[in-house]
Structure 1
Amino acid sequence: MAGAVPRIGDGRVVIGDVAAAAGVSVTTVSHVLSGKRPVGAPTRARVENAIEMLGYQPNPSARSMRTQRTESVAIVIPDITNPFFPLLAAGVQDVLHPEGYLISISDADLPSRSLDDVLRQVLNRRPDGILMASYGSTGHELNRIIASNTHLVRLSGAPEDELGDIVSSDDTAGVAGVVGHLAERGYRRIAFINGEQSTAPARLRAEGYRRGLREAGRRFDPALVRAESFTRAGGVAGARRLLELRPDALVCGNDLIAVGAMDVIRGAGLTVPHDIAVTGYDDIEAAALLSPALTTVHNPAREIGRACARMLLDRITGVHTGPAREEVLSTRLTVRDSS
């Protein structure tokens, strides 16, 4: 009888309880939940009222069995302490949470675990998709993901149909722009502290540094370049070496490097930008809070995360089954007091 309320105190509410309370079939409740079949407005209202009254929560395991999906996506990142990556994850959430997906984050830069170990653990949980933001990944790891029939989106590398879609920002243009900005301000000895040379972002940003010098009519001096790590400690190490060469500006491969470089400059009794200008890359929130506030390249982390999520969702749901796609987002120079 419609409106009959089942006894629910002894266990979890199931879809049959909702059907009984609404006076409809289990199939009708399923159609209301999925939205894939039309259900008349009065019937839908009865089902929705029963769901609310009973506090019914769909069983994700049962749904996974029907759809052959786990409705989960994993993000593999190189450094969970870098503020760029939480913003990236927030962008993924913006798109996938409303679709009912659970998102997990794994840090691939833990000394106790290799990337291989991280991937083994992630793949054992059978996510529908993986966003690979770990820049040190090799063909071996990427092929392992593809072989597991897990959809893949990468943040770096060359487009290859076998290795999934790519979303990135224009690193080369971003760094070239900041070098041009410094040259226009009259800085002559523009040095560069980069991240790990083995990573795609470091290679692209190094290319941007050289392009910026070339476009400004400046000579490239390899002595003014340090490849460290994309960390504050990397900035400290690079600045200690480069200050001996007396540059008047430091271009840093990311904002964390810039923070470390500014620590060293202050420790040497110098000031920014009077004695030496400093620029960063990413435009993390802390960049505007530094003293002086950091000139940097705005890298649209949240928008990148959203684009990655849309690509994964297209693959998971079968909206796109064609060749690998690449989306490159623009960067912009944010000029502040440090230059």
Structure 2
Amino acid sequence: MVATIRDVAELSGTSRSTVSRVMNGKLRVNPEVREHVLAAVKELGYRPNKVARSLRTQASRVLALVVSDISNPFFGSVIRGVEDVAGSADYLVVLFNSDEDVERERRYLSIIVAERMAGVIISPTSERKTDLSLLVDNGIPIVTVDRLAKTSGTDTVRSDNVEGARLATAHLLDQGYRRIGYVGGPAAATTSRERLVGYKAALRQARVRFERRLLSAGDFKEESGHVVMTKLLEAQPDAVLVANHTMAIGALRSLREAGLRYPDDLGFVSFDDPPWASLTHPSLTVIAQRDLEIGRQAAHLLKQRILEPDRPAVRAILQPELRVRESSLRPVP
């Protein structure tokens, strides 16, 4: 049986990326480690695949960016941030849209491996179901953005979702609202679960009882926001926190159809700050994420990971900002 780079790594007690650097003549390898690797290479009779190496060289300036929903303007800003940094370092970026579909995401990852792209920035569709092992097994560096994946040891950049939801809910509580509904996203998404934790934490800190019927979940898309908001109104909330602005559009449509106005009939806060949020009348109170910076930091981390594949993983958490506008300010009686 022909020896593989994995066999060399196991015999020498190192990683595949270290073996690769030794075989490619990189200088930044401990001399003792280099000796272990070369001894394993000799013992196994390992021969690098020159064709594969050639393909890797050709693709070494191409990065993959896999987003979970390209129609969400949050990811538009993330993409721009990645492009800003990647372009300045002479990398090209290839964009993939998984559309919250695990199977589509899996096919894209296979393409990325087949094309031997230099690295991947990905917003995982599901923390449990997204499988990044194909990238790991092929030594392709990974940075996750916005959400976590079950694969350990990867760099990640995301918002402090717990704190963002806590800030939003605490603000509504400070305005005197007590029956605060929450329109969340799919349970498979880290962002959705963490924002629910923050919402509950604020209620608990204010000693306001959590009511399950004031909780609803969509899929981060506009139509689901409309459907779940229509259902939530049956519980008669006096305020609502929506977990992203795409669902907020659907939720606002539901309010209009019900003949309700914010903040006259109920308070309203949403995650994300699209340009239209400050232009509506009344204007929308939001939790603004640092989406552009998330993209920039992810690209910087990926560049570093490509150069230093064995360095410790970095988990960057950026603090969101509560931007108070008219929609959450309770009218004075």
Supply the AA of the counterpart residue of 2:327: S
What's the offset of the Cα at 1:336? 1.2
SS at match of 2:271: coil
Kept in 1: contact 2:157–2:316 (CA 8 A): yes
Q: Is 1:324 the counterpart of 2:317 in the alignment?
A: no
Match of 1:291 among 281, 291, 298: 281
Q: Structure 2 matches for 1:189-228, cutoff 5 A?
A: 189-228=179-218
What's the offset of the Cα at 1:163? 3.9
| Structure 2 gap ranges (5+) | 1-53, 329-333
Against the structure 1 CA distance between its residues 196 and 287, is the aligned structure 2 distance closer, same or farther, given a 3 Å change threshold? Answer: same
Q: Which residue of 1 aligns with 2:47?
A: none
Distance 1:77 1:171 in 2: 18
What's the offset of the Cα at 1:276? 1.1
Kept in 1: contact 2:124–2:148 (CA 8 A): no
Q: Which residue of 2 aligns with 1:180?
A: 170
Against the structure 1 CA distance between its residues 111 and 183, is the aligned structure 2 distance closer, same or farther, given a 3 Å change threshold? Answer: closer
SS at match of 1:96: helix
Match of 1:273 among 251, 256, 263: 263
Supply the AA of the counterpart residue of 1:328: I
SS at match of 1:312: helix
What's the offset of the Cα at 1:65? 7.1
Supply the AA of the counterpart residue of 1:333: L
What's the offset of the Cα at 1:291? 3.0
Against the structure 1 CA distance between its residues 145 and 283, is the aligned structure 2 distance closer, same or farther, given a 3 Å change threshold? Answer: same
If you compute each CA radius of gyration, which structure gives the higher value, 1 or 2?
1
Sequence identity of aligned pairs in percent?
33
Distance 2:215 2:102 in 1: 31
Q: Which residue of 2 aligns with 1:157?
A: 148
Distance 1:139 1:246 in 2: 35
Q: Is 1:169 the counterpart of 2:192 in the alignment?
A: no
What's the offset of the Cα at 1:219? 0.7
Match of 1:144 among 125, 134, 138: 134
Q: Is 1:79 the counterpart of 2:69 in the alignment?
A: yes
Query: How many residue pairs get matched?
Result: 275
| Structure 1 gap ranges (5+) | 1-63
Distance 1:124 1:117 in 2: 11
SS at match of 1:280: strand
SS at match of 2:157: strand
What's the offset of the Cα at 1:75? 0.9
Deviates more, 1:257-266 or 1:296-305: 257-266
SS at match of 2:326: coil
CA displacement 1:264-320 (0-9 Å, x = unmatched): 1111111111001111102122322333221110111000001100100001123x6
Kept in 2: contact 1:129–1:150 (CA 8 A): yes
Distance 1:68 1:317 in 2: 17
Kept in 2: contact 1:189–1:247 (CA 8 A): yes
Kept in 1: contact 2:128–2:150 (CA 8 A): no
Q: Which residue of 1 aligns with 2:94?
A: 104
Match of 1:282 among 272, 281, 285: 272
Against the structure 1 CA distance between its residues 334 and 70, is the aligned structure 2 distance closer, same or farther, given a 3 Å change threshold? Answer: same
Distance 2:265 2:222 in 1: 21
Kept in 2: contact 1:152–1:163 (CA 8 A): no
Distance 1:283 1:252 in 2: 12
Q: TM-score when scaled to structure 2?
A: 0.77
Q: Which residue of 1 aligns with 2:325?
A: 336
Against the structure 1 CA distance between its residues 132 and 273, is the aligned structure 2 distance closer, same or farther, given a 3 Å change threshold? Answer: same
Against the structure 1 CA distance between its residues 135 and 242, is the aligned structure 2 distance closer, same or farther, given a 3 Å change threshold? Answer: same
What's the offset of the Cα at 1:85? 0.4
Against the structure 1 CA distance between its residues 131 and 66, is the aligned structure 2 distance closer, same or farther, given a 3 Å change threshold? Answer: closer
Q: TM-score when scaled to structure 1?
A: 0.76
Q: Is 1:116 the counterpart of 2:103 in the alignment?
A: no
What's the offset of the Cα at 1:70? 1.9
Against the structure 1 CA distance between its residues 150 and 224, is the aligned structure 2 distance closer, same or farther, given a 3 Å change threshold? Answer: same
Kept in 1: contact 2:101–2:125 (CA 8 A): no
CA displacement 1:178-197 (0-9 Å, x = unmatched): 00000000111100000111
Deviates more, 1:88-97 or 1:131-140: 131-140
Supply the AA of the counterpart residue of 1:294: L
